[in-house]
Amino acid sequence: SAVISQKPSRDICQRGTSLTIQCQVDSQVTMMFWYRQQPGQSLTLIATANQGSEATYESGFVIDKFPISRPNLTFSTLTVSNMSPEDSSIYLCSVEDQGEKLFFGSGTQLSVL
């Protein structure tokens, strides 16, 4: 099974600033996913990040707001730009490994004041 290290685990940020979340995997994986879990709600896919190509964003999410990097097969970052209180959520990195198994990081709890 893949082990995912995600950091920071939590942060409190000021409105208008940006935060970059890192996701490190202990094995090479092709597909990495970034999800958002808003308070009291389910997980929503933000984008899919494949190494060597631009991320694919879901409806309602844009690259200018959530730029993603995927420099190699074990690492990705998600930036939440120009934050507002509505961006307060848990952000989760996920990878696919061994067929249909998806593994998740422990998440980044973001609070925007």
Partner 1 sequence: GNSVTQMEGPVTLSEEAFLTINCTYTATGYPSLFWYVQYPGEGLQLLLKATKADDKGSNKGFEATYRKETTSFHLEKGSVQVSDSAVYFCALRSGSARQLTFGSGTQLTVLP
Residues that bind partner 1 in the complex, under the rule CB under 8 A: 4, 6, 31, 33, 41-45, 48, 92, 94, 96, 100-107
Tokens read off for 68: 């993603």
**Coil, strand or helix at 97:** strand
Closest CA to 49 of 75, 88, 24, 86: 75
- Shortest Å, Cβ 3 to partner 1: 10
- Shortest Å, Cβ 82 to partner 1: 25
For partner 1, give the closer residue by CB, 14 or 60.
60
For partner 1, give the closer residue by CB, 33 or 66.
33
- Shortest Å, Cβ 109 to partner 1: 10
Contact status, residue 111 vs residue 17, Cβ threshold 8 Å? no
For partner 1, give the closer residue by CB, 18 or 44.
44
For partner 1, give the closer residue by CB, 17 or 62.
62
Distance of alpha carbon 86 from alpha carbon 57, whole angstroms = 19
Tokens read off for 29: 């994986």
The amino acid at 20: T
